Every structure is written in structure tokens, then in C-alpha cells.
Amino acid sequence: MDRRVDVLKALADKNRLLILDMLSCGDMCACDIMEGLELTQPTISHHMKILVKSGVVEGKKAGKWMNYSINHDVVEDLSGYLEYLTNPKENCICHRKTRICKL
């Protein structure tokens, strides 16, 4: 679960969501992301470090540039987990509690 928490934390930022939106079109180098979002190089580096550390984005060195892409395995895992988390299940934590409030 800790890995998923890290991914959710990484996604809890407007600029990082915009970066993912840009990467949905395909691999991009940091310079293209920087230009597309009109952010400075240090700001892009900061956001990319968080996205790569969480695993949601992968970075590959290409000469002096870094090319970034979405790690779809991590995205699919998170999507499946959110689906699991938000639907009824037999082993749900709510079954371990006695209801105090009657709905």
C-alpha cells in the first residue's frame, strides 16, 4: 500500500497532473515539457524527480537530455486498487465495526 500512497502523493499537484497529461501523447524530453508548461528547468526537475521516484513516470537518458514516459503498469495498478477500494467486498474494514448510527 505504501507504494500506492507515494503515487497518490505524487499526483496531488496540478503541475504534475499537467505533466502526465503531456506525457499521455508519448515520450517527451524535459525541454519539451518545460516549454509546454512554461515552467523553469529547476521546477520541471523537481516535479520529474517526484514522479520518477513514485514510479508513475520513467526517465531514460538520451545524450544530454532525459526522455520521460508514463509507466502504465503503475497507473493500471493504481486504477485497479481504486476500483477495489471503492466497491463493496466481503473483507471490507466496515464489517469489523459495529454500527453505532442507524441509517
Over residues 23-28, mean pLDDT: 96
For residues 55 and 4, what is the distance between their CA atoms, to the nearest angstrom? 10
Average pLDDT over every residue of 28-54: 94
Q: Which CATH number fits domain 2-96: 3.30.70.120, 3.40.50.300, 1.10.10.10, 3.40.190.170?
A: 1.10.10.10
Q: What percent of the chain has pLDDT over 90?
A: 75
Identify the three-state secondary structure at position 26. coil
Inter-residue contact 55 to 74 (CB < 8 Å)? yes
| Chain centroid offset of residue 45 CA | 16
pLDDT of residue 81: 94
More confident residue, 38 or 23: 23
What integer is the mean pLDDT of 40-61? 96
Q: Which residue has the higher pLDDT, 93 or 49?
A: 49
Query: Amino acid identity, residue 18?
Result: L
Question: What's the mean pLDDT when you consider all of the chain?
Answer: 91
Euclidean distance between CA atoms 18 and 36, whole angstroms: 10
Which residue matches cell numbers 499526483?
A: 11
**For 62-75, what is each residue's pLDDT tens digit?**
888 889 999 999 99
Count H helices, E strands: the chain? 5, 3
Q: Report, as an integer, the average pLDDT of 11-37.
A: 95
Per-residue pLDDT for 97 more than 70?
no
Q: What is the DSSP letter of 96?
A: G
